[in-house]
Amino acid sequence: MSDGPATTGSDPLTGRALVSGAAEGAVLYSSEPLSFWGGYDAETGEIIDRRHPLAGRIGSGCIMAIPATRGSSTTTAVLLEAIRRGTAPAAFLTRGPDTFLALAAIVAGQLYDRAPPVVALSPGDFAALRAILRARVEATGVVMPI
């Protein structure tokens, strides 16, 4: 994970895979952290925090790019339920490591044999996600715009 200059919207981004895996989908980007407790509906995949910029959007199956989670460890429980129901994002891209997302993904891998990748990016690379509509996350932590 480099702190160097941000890349363009077509260059690959290289981060640190906190939870390894592959996924592809539309990038759902926000510069604001998200609390999953009271902010994400595990039944529908909708972002329900009405004060969040992504309110009303569906995270299910997307590559969710948020700088971090906000709030308590209950985020892990909500995310685990969404993974169990199949309404969780396909992958998470963050601005630096996020322990709650990583913990939920690791536990989901053990409990359900499926875990969304979690990749920590440098601040510059995270900001570059704003211009990317679709991406492929690779097990190595590389994020390829598509």
What are the phi and psi torsion angles at 21 (to 5°)?
165, 175
Q: What sign has the CA pseudo-torsion 66, 61, 84, 53?
A: positive
Place of tokens 């969304």: 116
Catalytic (active site) residue 72: yes
What confidence tens digit (pLDDT) does each residue in 11-25 have?
Answer: 999 999 999 999 999
Q: Which residue type, as a one-letter code, is found at position 59?
A: G
Fold of 13-145: Glucose Oxidase; domain 1 (3.50.30)
Candidates 10, 31, 72, 73; catalytic one: 72
What confidence tens digit (pLDDT) does each residue in 78-124 have?
Answer: 999 999 999 999 999 999 999 999 999 999 999 999 999 999 999 99
- Residues 7 and 139: their CA atoms lie apart, in Å, by 20
The domains of the chain are located at 13-145
pTM over 0.75: yes
Q: Are strands 13-14 and 142-145 parallel, antiparallel or unpaired?
A: antiparallel
